[in-house]
Amino acid sequence: ETGVTQSPTHLIKTRGQQVTLRCSSQSGHNTVSWYQQALGQGPQFIFQYYREEENGRGNFPPRFSGLQFPNYSSELNVNALELDDSALYLCASSMGGSYGYTFGSGTRLTVV
């Protein structure tokens, strides 16, 4: 197992810009979820992909979008960045069903 790897680890963007965050899941994990964690808060669910199709979405606007690729990698795209988008973005993967989720170390995004 290689774990879940996220890149970059830190990122600073200007309000209005666009950003792409990347995640490499564990081999065989066909489900990937993305979470936003503001300082002092628990992770908030953004969306989930199962076998390259979105199968769940939290209360986030359409400017948050994503993709999952056949090689177990995925990405989160955020358009028109706002100051409130500053947070730790977490990727988590699972074999699905009732298996637990393995989290990456996250990408710290700062919007100025």
Partner 1 sequence: EDQVTQSPEALRLQEGESSSLNCSYTVSGLRGLFWYRQDPGKGPEFLFTLYSAGEEKEKERLKATLTKKESFLHITAPKPEDSATYLCAVQARAGTALIFGKGTTLSVSS
Q: Binding of partner 1 at residue 97 (CB under 8 A)?
A: yes
Sign of the C-alpha dihedral computed for residues 63, 52, 54 and 30 taken in this order: negative
Q: Does 70 contact partner 1 by CB under 8 A?
A: no
106 binds partner 1 (CB under 8 A): yes
Nearest residue to 72 via CA among 41, 32, 21: 32
Residue with tokens 């503001």: 38
For partner 1, which residue of 29, 43, 66, 78 counts as binding (CB under 8 A)? 43
Question: What's the rounded Cα separation, in Å, for the pair 7 and 24?
Answer: 9
State which of residues 13, 26, 50, 86 lies at the interface with partner 1 (CB under 8 A).
Answer: 50
Q: Is the CB of 18 or the CB of 24 nearer to partner 1?
A: 24
The yes or no reply on residue 62 touching partner 1 (CB under 8 A) is no
